[in-house]
Chain A
Amino acid sequence: GAVVSQHPSWVICKSGTSVKIECRSLDFQATTMFWYRQFPKQSLMLMATSNEGSKATYEQGVEKDKFLINHASLTLSTLTVTSAHPEDSSFYICSALRDRGTYEQYFGPGTRLTVT
C-alpha cells in the first residue's frame, strides 16, 4: 500500500506554454501533499504545501502565480507551471501525507520537466 503516482513522468514543452503535473495517492487519503523541486545532484527543495479544500502555502521565494497548485480532492493535487521558461526545467517530486497513523509521507516517482 501507500502508493503515490505522478503524471506525466516526463514532459518537454516550449517556452511560454503551461504544463500541469498530477500527483495522486492511490490507496490512501491525503489532506496534505507537498511539492518539491530537485536540481541535478542537489537535495529536495520544498516549494509548497498543498491542502485539500484550501489555498496552498508557498515557501519563501516561490512564485505562487507561476506555480499554481490545486488540491481538488483527498487523493489529487496538481501543480501547473505557467509560462514556463528554460530555468523551470527541473525534477518535480510530490509527496502525500497519509491522513492517519504516524502521518508518514510517501513520495511520487517524480516528473522531469524540460523547457526548450
Chain B
Amino acid sequence: GEDVEQSLFLSVREGDSSVINCTYTDSSSTYLYWYKQEPGAGLQLLTYIFSNMDMKQDQRLTVLLNKKDKHLSLRIADTQTGDSAIYFCAERGNTGGFKTIFGAGTRLFVKA
C-alpha cells in the first residue's frame, strides 16, 4: 500500500533555515501537502504542490518535489520559535476516494 516516510525530529537555531524531508511510494500521487500541527491543535494546511510541479515558493516556505525519486522537501527560511511544531507530509492520488496518506510527522525544535 501507499506509504509516506519522514524523519521524526529536527532541531535548528532561530534564524537558520529548516529543511524537512519526506519520501512517498505512490507513483500516482497527484497532490502533495505539508501540514503544521501545534500542541493540542488540529492540522493547518501550510502549502501543497501538484505532481507536475518541481518547486513552489510561498513567502518563507519553499517546497521542492523530485517526482522521479518520490522525494518532497519543505524549506522554512529564517526559522522562528513560533515555527516549532510537528510538520506532516501527506500525499493524495486520484484513486481510493481521495484518501490522504500522512507521514508520521517531523517535530521541529527551534532554539532561541
Interface residues of A (CB under 8 A from B): 6, 32, 34, 42-44, 46, 49, 57, 93, 95, 97, 102-110, 112
Contact = CB atoms under 8 A, between A and B. Distances in A.
A75 to B, nearest CB: 17
A93 B103 CA distance: 16
Interface string B18-38: 000000000000010101000
Interface string B40-63: 111111001000000000000000
A42 B104 contact: yes
B41 A57 contact: no
Contact of B42 (A42, A102, A110): A110
B97 A110 contact: no
A108 B43 CA distance: 7
Interface of B: 31, 33, 35, 40-45, 48, 88, 92, 97-100, 102-105
Classify the interface of chain A: helix, strand, loop or mixed: strand
10 contacts: A42-B105, A43-B103, A44-B102, A46-B100, A105-B33, A106-B45, A107-B45, A109-B41, A110-B42, A112-B40
